[in-house]
Amino acid sequence: MFIVSDYHTAILFCIITMICWGSWANTQKINQQKWRFELFYWDYVIGILVFALISALTMGSMGEQGRPFLEDIAQTDVSNLGNALLSGLLFNLANILLTAAIASAGMAVAFPIGIGIALVAGVFFNYLLQQKGDPVLLFVGVGLVTLAIVLNAVAFKKHKGASGTAGIGKWISISVIAGFLMSSFYPFLASGMDLNNFEQPLAGKMTPYTAFVVFAVGIFLSNLIFNTVLMKRPLEGAAIRYKEYFAGPFKYHIIGVLGGAIWGLGNLFNLIAAGKAGPAISYGLGQGATLVAALWGVLVWKEFKGSSSKVNNLLIAMFLCFIAGLGLIIWSGS
């Protein structure tokens, strides 16, 4: 299978993860006026599962290093398979809530709050799993990212004013819940892999490719429950029937699958990088997706259009804190 052999390549893979995880939500934004997010989400989940299977049967099965996918999944302990399935369930619940918040509150608000909280809590949990990196640099970097999240919230409140924030509290609360749920999925997934040796992983442990496939199956299976319930009792709007999904234009389905594949590429690269960078640094940099999503929200979707100079200064300070925080996270592992 293909693996990363040095720290610098691992960091490059984490940066690709950051771009992918911060960009997939654009596919939801493209169709949100005509295609409910609950319908989009079915295709998104299918995109993740299909990408996971393709990558496992190609990159995860070629070469002489590590165990090929089919051999690896056959020898994996049931407990590790269960943890990966649970990880997919936790991620899916978090991501459904986050996607709903993005559809209602915008990328520049929901994404930084939800994923920012996931970064802070997730780095802490993953550092407990494997203590790689300088803890002072790592957690100072996380602190700066936390400050960036606060600045983003303040900027949004000042931009919208009292009238513009009516009802937004619900979506901020949902983003917070999604963030804490999102922080919990990665340790379960990483615990099933031999992070110290992808070349010759311990018996019963999974390669990153196998872990990703089982994780994706967990997402898909849990989605049969979570998204069905959400369609019948949506957080906002009228109930939806399955026939609306099957009646949707082909291009809408393709865009949703593409969104899942983009997220899947980021997740695969993040798992591959975890062997050299450690799960805390790998996860922390990947969740720098917050910065990428905020850039999309501000520069492309114009979610802060017409802001005052005070709001613009807050946004600049937010981006600087993000950049400095991510830089310290990278430095902590070098």
Query: Model confidence over 77-112: pLDDT tens digits?
Result: 999 999 999 999 999 999 899 878 877 776 667 767
Q: Is the pLDDT of residue 180 over 50?
A: yes
Alpha-carbon distance 4 to 76, whole Å? 22
The rounded percent of the chain whose pLDDT value lies above 90 is 62
Q: Which residues pair with 193 in a beta bridge?
A: 206
Q: Which residue has the higher pLDDT, 334 or 229?
A: 229
For the chain, domain boundaries: 7-333
SS3 letters for 229-254? HHHHCCCCCCCCCHHHHHCCCHHHHH
pLDDT score recorded for residue 141? 92
Out of 1-10, 13-22, 111-120, pick the least confident: 111-120
pLDDT score recorded for residue 302? 86
Q: Is the pLDDT of residue 145 over 60?
A: yes
* Count of other CB atoms within 10 angstroms of residue 86: 17
- What pLDDT digit, counting tens, does each position of 271-303 carry? 999 999 999 899 888 878 878 888 888 888 887
Q: Is the pLDDT of residue 165 over 60?
A: no
Q: Is the pLDDT of residue 163 over 60?
A: no
Sign, CA dihedral 49-50-51-57, equals: positive
Q: How confident is the model at residue 164 (pLDDT cuts 50, 70, 90)?
A: low
Average pLDDT over residues 52-70: 94
pLDDT score recorded for residue 120? 84
pLDDT score recorded for residue 108? 64
Q: Is the pLDDT of residue 68 over 70?
A: yes
Of the ranges 95-99, 165-169, 327-331, the best mean pLDDT one: 327-331
Strand ranges inside 59-123, DSSP E: none
Average pLDDT over residues 252-272: 97
Alpha-carbon distance 207 to 209, whole Å? 5
Q: Which residue has the higher pLDDT, 117 or 162?
A: 117
Q: How confident is the model at residue 46 (pLDDT cuts 50, 70, 90)?
A: very high
**pTM listed for this prediction:** 0.89
Average pLDDT over residues 298-327: 90
SS3 letters for 175-194? HHHHHHHHHHHHHHHHHCEC
Pair of tokens at residue 168: 């937004």
Q: Is the pLDDT of residue 195 over 60?
A: yes
pLDDT score recorded for residue 237? 86
Q: Are 157 and 108 in contact (CB under 8 A)?
A: no
Q: How confident is the model at residue 166 (pLDDT cuts 50, 70, 90)?
A: low
Of the ranges 181-190, 218-227, 230-239, 278-287, the best mean pLDDT one: 218-227
pLDDT score recorded for residue 333? 87
Of the ranges 62-76, 103-117, 149-163, the best mean pLDDT one: 62-76
Average pLDDT over residues 45-63: 97
